[in-house]
Amino acid sequence: MRHAVISDVHGNIEALTAVLADIKKRKADSVLFLGDAVGYGPEPNECVRTLKAECSVLLAGNHDWAAIGLAERKHFNPYARAAIEWTAGALRADCISALGDFSLTHQRPEEGLFLVHATPKEPERWHYLFSLWDAEVNFKCFSEKVCLLGHSHQPLIMERFPSGDMATERGGLTFGKTERYIINVGSVGQPRDGDPRACYAMLADDGVRLHRVTYDIPKTQKKMGDAGLPHPLIERLSRGL
């Protein structure tokens, strides 16, 4: 099986469209979505409808839950909260109901995959997984070979050897027979690793590769300005931070 794995679209239809076109060229059997369809970006409805049409798995992220009232908004920084409030007002009924059906986790035992937005440990608490220590704690919270996640908007592959040693990779790797992996697939609509291009992962039985895709950033920024979204959120798209 070849899966394209995407996350953190955040209402950015320009980035999502460019990524889906790139995925078509590379021929995936399915597209798996790891959450945060909305929040930050100017076109939440278009993104929810496109994801629903294109993805065989749809997970919920913290912005999705906050936008439809399933998670509290007080934990978000003021810019993120302003964007969530704007999104809540912009979402149409069909999209609110679709987001309510997105699940927190998804397991594919036959393929050795565990999917979640934030972390296998307490998925509904939206922890961040940055360090190898975080990874060590989380490797104990799923039994499959590979965990796919998003949330931090920073693509990274963490590899755990049977000895307990760990290593990190950025571009991609071939899976070892006895190793296990936590793979952050990065963000489609708001990358934060210093590269403003959209990011996603292509996953095959024998390994994974992270891909970057250019999209029309000024077009998204113009729509964000027209919608009155906070300026720092508009500006950060150009820097990928």
Residues that bind Zn ion in the complex, under the rule CB under 5 A: 8, 36
C-beta of 175 vs 200, nearer to Zn ion:
200
In whole angstroms, the minimum distance from the beta carbon of 157 to Zn ion comes to: 19
> What is the amino acid identity at position 116?
V
In whole angstroms, the minimum distance from the beta carbon of 88 to Zn ion comes to: 16
C-beta of 106 vs 180, nearer to Zn ion:
106
C-beta of 207 vs 230, nearer to Zn ion:
230
Q: Which two tokens stand for residue 227?
A: 């919608």
In whole angstroms, the minimum distance from the beta carbon of 80 to Zn ion comes to: 9
**Cα–Cα separations (whole angstroms), residue 19 to 90, 115, 213:** 24, 20, 6
Q: How far apart are CA 197 and CA 214, in angstroms?
A: 5
Q: What is the dihedral of CA 216, 234, 149, 160, to 10 degrees?
A: 90
C-beta of 8 vs 43, nearer to Zn ion:
8
In whole angstroms, the minimum distance from the beta carbon of 111 to Zn ion comes to: 25
Identify which of 171, 163, 149, 182 has the alpha carbon closest to the alpha carbon of residue 35: 149
In whole angstroms, the minimum distance from the beta carbon of 38 to Zn ion comes to: 10
C-beta of 8 vs 14, nearer to Zn ion:
8
Sequence-distant (≥ 6) Cβ neighbours of residue 29 within 8 angstroms: 1, 2, 3
C-beta of 43 vs 159, nearer to Zn ion:
43
DSSP symbol at 114? E
In whole angstroms, the minimum distance from the beta carbon of 116 to Zn ion comes to: 13
Tell me the sheet residues that pair with 172.
209
**Cα–Cα separations (whole angstroms), residue 194 to 106, 118, 200, 241:** 30, 21, 15, 5
